[in-house]
């Protein structure tokens, strides 16, 4: 996915898409790249954090009522930050969770990192949401709580 950071798809974006396509790689222009990237972050905040904290793959995690609610709370906070930034509008969190549930027993990247003894990417995922939440006046208590729990795992288990 390629797009102009300010929105739209100019000549440079078209050139990049063509370059990747000529190299045999799938490429697509996205006029709303900031929204696309933020929505991926919204999913990662909820799915990655809860999968590690509960040691669960996607489908069982989203079939568990409490885990699903945790995912929804985290995603909602991240979404509110994106809305305050003007990056995203109204988004149906439950629809995003239902779409993610189709992934069956997939392990999130963060869960894979934990299992392989690698450092968890909590700063670029949850830390970014906390930092931007502060900057834009959006409280993120659930994301902060998950960040702290993941940070303890990151320093004690690795």
Which pLDDT value is given to residue 103? 85
Q: Is residue 91 located within the same domain as residue 125?
A: yes
Q: What is the pLDDT of residue 157?
A: 47
List of residues 6+ apart from 156 with CB closer than 8 A: none
Q: How confident is the model at residue 154 (pLDDT cuts 50, 70, 90)?
A: confident
Q: Is residue 38 located within the same domain as residue 62?
A: yes
Residues 154/124, Cβ–Cβ less than 8 Å: no
- 107 given a catalytic annotation: no
**pLDDT at residue 142 tops 60:** yes
Mean pLDDT of the chain: 93
Pick from 51, 31, 69: nearest CA to 112: 51
Residue 120: CATH number of its domain = 1.10.1040.10
For 30-40, how does the pLDDT look when each residue is reduced to its tens digit (9 = 90+)?
A: 888 888 899 99
* Pair 13, 81 in one domain: no
The DSSP secondary-structure symbol of 40 reads: H
Q: Out of 40, 59, 107, 145, which one is annotated catalytic?
A: 40
Parent domain of 9: 1-31
Examine the domain organization and report whether 107 and 55 are in the same domain: yes
Taking 60 as the threshold, does the pLDDT of residue 131 lie above it?
yes
The residues, any chain, with a CB within 8 Å of residue 11's CB and separated by 6 or more, are none
The pair of structure tokens assigned to 1 is: 């996915």
Domains held by the chain: number: 2
pLDDT attached to residue 30 = 86
Same-domain pairing of 44 and 6: no
What is the model's pTM? 0.88
Between these two residues, 155 and 30, which has the higher pLDDT value?
Answer: 30
Of 33, 43, 37, the C-alpha closest to 10 is 33
Q: What is the pLDDT of residue 155?
A: 64
Longest dimension (CA), the chain: 48
What percentage of the chain carries pLDDT values higher than 90? Answer: 79
């Amino acid at each position: 996915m390629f797009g102009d950071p300010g929105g739209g798809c100019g000549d440079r974006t078209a050139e990049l898409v063509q370059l990747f396509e000529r190299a045999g790689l799938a490429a697509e222009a996205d006029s709303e790249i900031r929204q696309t990237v933020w929505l991926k972050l919204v999913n990662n905040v909820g799915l990655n954090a809860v999968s590690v904290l509960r040691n669960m793959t996607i489908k069982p995690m989203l079939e568990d009522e409490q885990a699903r609610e945790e995912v929804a709370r985290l995603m909602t906070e991240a979404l509110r930050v994106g809305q305050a930034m003007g990056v995203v509008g109204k988004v149906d969190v439950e629809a995003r969770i239902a779409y993610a549930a189709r992934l069956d027993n997939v392990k999130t990247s963060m869960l894979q990192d934990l299992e392989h003894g690698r450092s968890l990417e909590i700063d670029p995922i949850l830390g970014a949401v906390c930092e931007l939440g502060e900057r834009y006046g959006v409280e993120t208590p659930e994301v902060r709580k998950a960040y702290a729990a993941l940070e303890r795992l990151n320093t004690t288990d690795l």
